[in-house]
């Protein structure tokens, strides 16, 4: 019996030694691979936080530009309404003889006697009404001029914010460094997954070695980082940059048109052609303000979606780094 036991030990001890050696080698490989994961996956949250911060700043910029463009549109609409009122007042003034200072000189004797024969009180009432209409027109004209200046200033403002937004988005559109780091992290996590399986197959007991379970948590958390999300960031940054450039061009054109529409030489041209030119310029300026508002809203919407996306990515990165 003793001889049999001795013979059994002689046969099994080399096998057990080989198994222990294989397990130790697999475990060493596992720890080495884990260090690679730490090297490539640590610090990703800082990069994502930077992108998130840029998105927040750019959201504020584009939102300001959108509000500014909307203000220009409102000012333009109010100006158009005021200009229409001026036309109505001018018509009433002309009906009461306020547009033709030579009207009396051109009267026939009969017309003159008839006018002079009018009751004195009635004549005073007409004069007072004419003065009231003229004062109302002057106030409306001053208001129209001010609204035109406001529209111009607001369009200049929205142009500036769109230029700033385009620069911010352009500088941060390329996220190749972040893509490379997440790609390296994902590759390291895949290797850690293979090394973990190899260690278990080599006889490493997860119960006796609790680090195996910790590695499982790292694999699960760090594996959630996705390069596709970074590519979405790049695409959305490109859209923001494009809409901002478009908004800047529209705002600049609108501001120039608004300046032209508010010039005294245009406003004081009472010919039919002059009045039509002023209307066309005001309409074009208002359309520009509306388009600038629309492009600003699109840019703001994409920036908000960027904040949501980076928030999700940041959560995954922080969970990953928390296991390292």
Q: 32-36, 118-122, 123-127, 300-304: lowest mean pLDDT where?
A: 118-122
Question: Residue 80 has what pLDDT?
Answer: 87
What value does the mean pLDDT take over residues 145-149? 89
Q: Per residue in 311-323, pLDDT tens?
A: 999 999 999 988 8
Q: Per residue in 75-118, pLDDT tens?
A: 888 888 888 888 887 787 776 666 665 555 555 556 555 655 45
Q: Which of 309, 322, 112, 119 is nearest to 230 (CA)?
A: 309
Task: Note the pTM of the prediction, 2 decimals.
Answer: 0.76
What value does the mean pLDDT take over residues 117-136? 64
Please give the residue that has the higher pLDDT: either 88 or 231: 231
Rounded Cα distance between 237 and 302, Å, is 8
How far does Cα 307 stand from its chain's mean position?
11
Question: Residue 23 has what pLDDT?
Answer: 57
Domains of the chain: 47-74+150-323 (1.20.1260)
* Residue bearing tokens 């385009």: 166
Half-sphere exposure of 206 (CA within 13 A, CB side): 11
Are 286 and 77 contacting, i.e. CB atoms less than 8 angstroms apart?
yes
Q: 48-62, 114-128, 210-224: lowest mean pLDDT where?
A: 114-128
Q: Which of 105-119, 199-213, 250-264 has maximum average pLDDT?
A: 250-264
Dihedral angle over CA of 38, 43, 44, 46, nearest 10: 160
Are 143 and 82 contacting, i.e. CB atoms less than 8 angstroms apart?
yes
């Amino acid at each position: 019996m003793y001889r049999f036991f001795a013979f059994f030990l002689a046969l099994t001890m080399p096998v057990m030694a080989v198994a222990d050696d294989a397990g130790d080698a697999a475990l060493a490989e596992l720890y080495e691979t884990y260090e690679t994961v730490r090297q490539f996956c640590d610090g990703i949250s800082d990069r994502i936080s930077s992108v998130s911060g840029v998105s927040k700043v750019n959201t504020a910029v584009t939102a300001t530009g959108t509000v500014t463009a909307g203000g220009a549109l409102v000012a333009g609409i109010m100006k158009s309404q005021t200009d229409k009122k001026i036309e109505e007042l001018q018509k009433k003034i002309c009906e009461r003889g306020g547009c033709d200072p030579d009207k009396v000189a051109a009267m026939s004797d009969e017309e003159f006697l008839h006018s002079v024969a009018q009751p004195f009180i009635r004549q005073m009432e007409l004069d007072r009404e004419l003065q009231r209409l003229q004062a109302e027109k002057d106030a409306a004209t001053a208001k129209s001029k001010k609204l035109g200046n406001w529209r111009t200033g607001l369009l200049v403002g929205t142009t500036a914010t769109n230029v700033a937004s385009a620069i911010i988005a352009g500088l941060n559109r390329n996220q190749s460094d972040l893509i490379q780091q997440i790609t390296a992290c994902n590759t390291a996590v895949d290797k850690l997954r293979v090394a973990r399986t190899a260690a278990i197959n080599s006889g490493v007991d997860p119960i006796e070695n609790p680090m195996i379970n910790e590695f499982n948590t790292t694999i699960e958390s760090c594996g959630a980082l996705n390069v596709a999300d970074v590519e979405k960031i790049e695409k959305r940054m490109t859209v923001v940059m494009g809409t901002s450039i478009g908004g800047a061009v529209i705002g600049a054109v609108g501001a120039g048109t608004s300046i032209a529409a508010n010039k005294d030489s245009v406003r004081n041209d009472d010919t039919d052609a002059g009045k039509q030119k002023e209307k066309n310029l005001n309409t074009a300026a208002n359309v520009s303000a509306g388009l600038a508002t629309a492009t600003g809203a699109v840019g703001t919407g994409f920036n908000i979606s960027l904040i949501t996306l980076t928030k999700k990515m940041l959560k995954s990165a922080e969970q990953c780094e928390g296991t390292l």
